[in-house]
Amino acid sequence: MDPNTLRINGRRLRESLETMARFGATPGGGVQRLTLSDEDRQARDQFVQWLKELDLTVTIDEMGNIFGLRPGKDNSLPPVLSGSHIDSQPKGGRFDGILGVMGPLEALRTLHENQVETLRPIAIVDWTNEEGSRFAPAMVASGVWAGALDKQWVYDRTDINGKRFEDELVRIGYKGDIPAKAWPVQAYYEYHIEQGPILEREGITIGAPKGILCLHWYDIYLEGEANQVGPTPMEGRHDALCAAAEMILKVNELPERMGGNMVATVGEIQNYPNSRNIIPDKVHFTVDIRSWDDDLALRAWDDLRTDCEAIAARRGCPIRIEETWRVEHSPFDEGLVKRVLANAEALGYSSLRMVSGAGHDASYMNQIAPTAMIFVPSIGGRSHVEVENTTWEDCEAGANVLLHCLLQSANEPQA
Ligand SMILES: [Zn+2]
């Protein structure tokens, strides 16, 4: 048969996504499948079973990354790789991550049932802990695999209950013995929902991001002085929460101050002792800064840091700042981005060049292999929420683009 006429099975893709949505399903129609939780394990077990049904070679590495390899005609050539993540945010949606695992699975099922051979092997991957919401930071397992992060450092990360990453990996039975170490990859494709409003607003089906914004994470800890709220006069208080409040607004104003092309967010805060009649004496909050321009983000942080230190000094609340995580902006491989656009056109889908505001495992993969992503619209631009949604037609369209990108990369001879 002519491989150009191949199409994935949209109904089967939908069934796979619906099956996965049952693991950690929330009453609000989303999923809560935190990394290394029981729900994560259930979804992994299902995924592994599906890989085995396709006769793929399944390997699990020491970070819990799950790979399924489909042989090619020449298995000495580097494989083409595609994947994303099975874990979700707390009260997350049914498409973030999992679409990029079920999409390549559906593409491989299509090749399998049509007995299509490729020159190179094709592999599919589920990266552990993409979200970073239970164990910060995010994308740690692709980071270790790509050589950007230290394995032991990740193993020792703890969740809010003090549970260690490595212990939880062992507990759910997914600490494999294969080293988490990159092998040569011909091309890496990550299929994902856009998680923003642009494709829907423009009425476009396929997004081809030119790359991912840089991402800087900080943790700020403030100390105040606790006291009974009634008898303590307003003057002379050291209220850590008030100091934090001033700083949070500085974060919000930062992008405009820097002239745009940036977003900055405080998304998490802990206040202690969190009692209505005690002046707060300990606050922790997070800062997230993203831009296409790494230098601009660093200059913004310098300004913000100066402001926060001044606020802390004025309010008499000692401040401690941790620079938790930095990923530089990642421009994707231009040849692969063009391939995504060309396949969208050949399949009759509208398409758009854009950037990715969200971080993805593709950031780390981009450091070691030619990388591109395929985006489909998020209804209402909503993601990391239970109402996150994408039409089944768009899910199918993106998987068809992925299928043909995989086929073309997997048939490239050795340069
Ligand atoms: Zn994701």
Task: Round to whole Å and give the CA distance between 287 and 324.
Answer: 10
Whether residue 260 is predicted with pLDDT greater than 90 in this model: the reply is: no
175 CA distance to ligand 1 middle (Å): 22
Please report which confidence band the pLDDT of residue 2 belongs to, taking 50, 70 and 90 as the band edges. Answer: confident
98 CA distance to ligand 1 middle (Å): 8
Q: What percent of the chain has pLDDT above 90?
A: 96
Task: Round to whole Å and give the CA distance between 195 and 378.
Answer: 6
What pLDDT shows up at residue 414? 83
214 CA distance to ligand 1 middle (Å): 16
What pLDDT shows up at residue 327? 87
Query: Per-residue pLDDT tens for 355-374?
Result: 999 999 999 999 999 999 99
Token code pair at residue 250: 């500085």
Task: Round to whole Å and give the CA distance between 377 and 195.
Answer: 8
Single-letter code of the amino acid located at 128: T
Task: Round to whole Å and give the CA distance between 112 and 133.
Answer: 36
**Rounded (10°) angle between helices 38-53 and 99-113:** 10
What pLDDT shows up at residue 68? 98
What pLDDT shows up at residue 241? 98
Query: Per-residue pLDDT tens for 98-125?
Result: 999 999 999 999 999 999 999 999 999 9
Tell me if 243 sits within 8 A of 271, measured CB to CB: no
Please report which confidence band the pLDDT of residue 3 belongs to, taking 50, 70 and 90 as the band edges. Answer: confident
Q: Average pLDDT over the chain, rounded to whole? A: 97
Burial grade of 80 (CB within 10 A; 0-12, 13-18, 19 or more): buried
Tell me if 16 sits within 8 A of 106, measured CB to CB: yes
What pLDDT shows up at residue 337? 98
The average pLDDT across 68-96 equals: 97
363 CA distance to ligand 1 middle (Å): 12
285 CA distance to ligand 1 middle (Å): 23
193 CA distance to ligand 1 middle (Å): 8
Single-letter code of the amino acid located at 247: M
User: Which protein residues have their CB within 5 A of the ion that is ligand 1?
Assistant: 96-97
Whether residue 79 is predicted with pLDDT greater than 90 in this model: the reply is: yes
304 CA distance to ligand 1 middle (Å): 28
Which sign, positive or negative, has the C-alpha torsion 59, 62, 66, 71?
A: negative
273 CA distance to ligand 1 middle (Å): 34
The average pLDDT across 315-319 equals: 98
189 CA distance to ligand 1 middle (Å): 13
What pLDDT shows up at residue 1? 75
228 CA distance to ligand 1 middle (Å): 44
CA atoms within 13 A of residue 130's CA, in its CB half-sphere = 30
CA atoms within 13 A of residue 92's CA, in its CB half-sphere = 26
295 CA distance to ligand 1 middle (Å): 25
- Strands, DSSP E only, in 163-314? 187-193, 206-212, 214-223, 262-265, 269-272, 282-291
Does the pTM exceed 0.85?
Answer: yes
Comparing C-alpha atoms, which of 110, 103, 35, 178 is closest to residue 402? 103
138 CA distance to ligand 1 middle (Å): 10
Please report which confidence band the pLDDT of residue 216 belongs to, taking 50, 70 and 90 as the band edges. Answer: very high
DSSP state of 134: S
Token code pair at residue 384: 């990391």
172 CA distance to ligand 1 middle (Å): 21
Query: Per-residue pLDDT tens for 287-309?
Result: 999 999 999 999 999 999 999 99
Whether residue 247 is predicted with pLDDT greater than 80 in this model: the reply is: yes
Task: Round to whole Å and give the CA distance between 191 and 98.
Answer: 9
80 CA distance to ligand 1 middle (Å): 20
347 CA distance to ligand 1 middle (Å): 25
**Rounded (10°) angle between helices 10-21 and 99-113:** 140
212 CA distance to ligand 1 middle (Å): 13
Longest dimension (CA), the chain: 84
What pLDDT shows up at residue 80? 98
3 CA distance to ligand 1 middle (Å): 30
176 CA distance to ligand 1 middle (Å): 23
210 CA distance to ligand 1 middle (Å): 17
Token code pair at residue 308: 């926060």
Tell me if 72 sits within 8 A of 119, measured CB to CB: yes
Query: Per-residue pLDDT tens for 364-400?
Result: 999 999 999 999 999 999 999 999 999 999 999 999 9
CA atoms within 13 A of residue 412's CA, in its CB half-sphere = 18
Whether residue 41 is predicted with pLDDT greater than 80 in this model: the reply is: yes
What pLDDT shows up at residue 96? 97
84 CA distance to ligand 1 middle (Å): 7
225 CA distance to ligand 1 middle (Å): 40
